[in-house]
Structure 1
Amino acid sequence: MAMKGVHFLVVFVFTLAFTFVSASDPSPLQDFCVALGDTKNDVLLLLHMIEVLFYAVFVNGELCKDPKLVVAEDFFFSGLNKPGNTSNPLGWMATIVNVMKIAGLNTLGVSMVRLDYAPNGGLIPPHIHPRASEILVVLEGTLYVGFVTSNPNNTLFTKVLNKGDVFVFPIGLIHFQLNVGNTPAIAIAAFDSQNFGIIPIANAIFGSDPPINPDVLTKAFQVDRNVVNYLQSKFQGNNI
């Protein structure tokens, strides 16, 4: 089959599938809905779309695998025992376990991450999770953590956490974690979303693509334009 013909069939079958079996229920409607996984190959995508038409539904953006094809590996991940590489300017690393890592998380509304912090200042800078609240437990080390409430108060809540301590960051609020100890720190965080997302504040503002007009940032932050130009040059292409 010519590639052009494959593309046409993909579009045709996708249209039919979306028309007849699309859904967006926030709660699972079955025991599980294991994500199909990689569908970049044109022929595989066509087969997946045909399967969707007859067997599957759209739920939270991921297609469901035929339950008869599900295996234990679809619910498994190995690696949270391995420390992340914190040799970067901010001194932190995340090992993420979300729906992209465990297909069986699809529609279950949970995910987690191992967080490693370098000694003496390893920092997860201010950021938000647009789709989830976060609960964090410290396994090793000492962390200074906090979050800021929304307007009009912008109240800062902070706490120093030690091994075994737990802290919660409400959904959508700016928060951060800083290693204030002289040894590496480790934490595990859990989220009430299969794909919680992250928006690092500084990177989003000064490193957007394309860049935000400097006039906007100069007035918003009440600083000299040269400061904005410097920060944009610093953050362009630099993701946390």
Structure 2
Amino acid sequence: MNNLTIFFTFSLLVSLSHAIEFDFCVGDLNLPRGPQGYACKDPANITTDDFVYTGFRGERTTTSNLFRNNVTLAFVDAFPALNGLGISMARLDFGVGGVIPIHSHRTSEVIILATGSIIAGFIDTTNTAYYRRLEVGDVMIFPQAMLHFQVNVGTTPATAFVSLNGANPAIQRTTTLFAGNLPADIVEQITLLSNEEVMRLKRIFGTA
């Protein structure tokens, strides 16, 4: 084995054994957030409660929005113990006919259906749609950054849980075209929608 090979082998072992200096890093939400997440909470102030999230308990109302859904996020802002661990979760509740509109994350996502029946799917960069009706216990993966959606196609409410491989996977919704600060005339040009339709959607999503 020559010296160059030894050097690269040693470098690989060092990178694989990247020093872990803490068992965990519960995020301190009172300190500034950086590219790698939050600074660590003082270990002297950490308790078991920091590692338990109870936000998924109980029933949910799905009648308070246009899409007849209720989304409960267990991202790092709500569950600081996820800080630095590269994981997060969410609970999705669907009323009858409820949907999670098409959106994307900067992470991959796994969904497992707990109750009801939904159609879930994603669209890849060749514009191919992959979708399937899921029944209780079924699992589906949505690859990183792919546009994806869920629709309740059953006759009862449905509940699903998702896991994402990032503590802060973010959500980018297609409705942002109408909910954000993009001028209506630009939205018209890039969507081929009429001014009337763009303004209607801006009123629905709150910027007109």
Give TM class, smaller chain: 0.7 to 0.9
Contact in 2 for aligned 1:28/1:108 (Cα 8 Å): no
Q: For residue 118 of structure 1, what is the amino acid of its counterpart?
A: G
Residue of structure 1 aligned with 2:76, choices 77, 99, 109: 99
Q: TM-score, normalised by structure 2?
A: 0.83
Q: How does 1:198-209 map to 2 (within 5 A)?
A: 198-202=171-175, 204-208=176-180
Uncovered stretches (5+) of structure 2, i.e. residues with no partner: 1-17
Find out whether 1:127 has 2:99 as its counterpart.
Answer: no
Residue of structure 2 equivalent to 1:32: 24
Q: How does 1:174-193 map to 2 (within 5 A)?
A: 174-193=147-166
Residue of structure 1 equivalent to 2:198: 228
- SS of aligned partner of 1:216: helix
Q: How does 1:31-180 map to 2 (within 5 A)?
A: 31-38=23-30, 60-88=36-64, 89-119=66-96, 121-130=97-106, 132-150=107-125, 153-180=126-153
Deviation at 1:58, TM superposition (A): 5.8
When residues 27 and 134 of structure 1 are mapped into structure 2, their CA distance, relative to the original with a 3 A threshold, is farther
When residues 59 and 82 of structure 1 are mapped into structure 2, their CA distance, relative to the original with a 3 A threshold, is same
Contact in 1 for aligned 2:89/2:164 (Cα 8 Å): yes
Contact in 2 for aligned 1:98/1:111 (Cα 8 Å): yes
**Alpha-carbon distance in 1 for matches of 2:156, 2:57:** 18
Deviation at 1:93, TM superposition (A): 0.6
4+ runs deviating over 3 angstroms: 26-29
Contact in 2 for aligned 1:27/1:107 (Cα 8 Å): no
**Alpha-carbon distance in 1 for matches of 2:192, 2:133:** 32
- SS of aligned partner of 1:187: strand
When residues 190 and 84 of structure 1 are mapped into structure 2, their CA distance, relative to the original with a 3 A threshold, is same
Uncovered stretches (5+) of structure 1, i.e. residues with no partner: 1-25, 40-48, 50-56
Deviation at 1:85, TM superposition (A): 1.6
More displaced stretch, 155-164 vs 82-91: 82-91
Deviation at 1:223, TM superposition (A): 3.0
Residue of structure 1 equivalent to 2:185: 215
Q: For residue 115 of structure 1, what is the amino acid of its counterpart?
A: L
Contact in 2 for aligned 1:84/1:115 (Cα 8 Å): no
Instruction: Report % sequence identity.
Output: 32
When residues 223 and 104 of structure 1 are mapped into structure 2, their CA distance, relative to the original with a 3 A threshold, is closer
- SS of aligned partner of 1:136: strand
Number of aligned residue pairs: give it. 190
Q: For residue 95 of structure 2, what is the amino acid of its counterpart?
A: A
When residues 76 and 218 of structure 1 are mapped into structure 2, their CA distance, relative to the original with a 3 A threshold, is same
**Alpha-carbon distance in 2 for matches of 1:111, 1:27:** 23
When residues 114 and 122 of structure 1 are mapped into structure 2, their CA distance, relative to the original with a 3 A threshold, is same
Q: TM-score, normalised by structure 1?
A: 0.72
Deviation at 1:28, TM superposition (A): 5.8
Deviation at 1:194, TM superposition (A): 0.8
Contact in 2 for aligned 1:149/1:174 (Cα 8 Å): yes
CA displacement 1:190-233 (0-9 Å, x = unmatched): 0111111111112x10110x2x2223222222232222222222
- SS of aligned partner of 1:188: strand
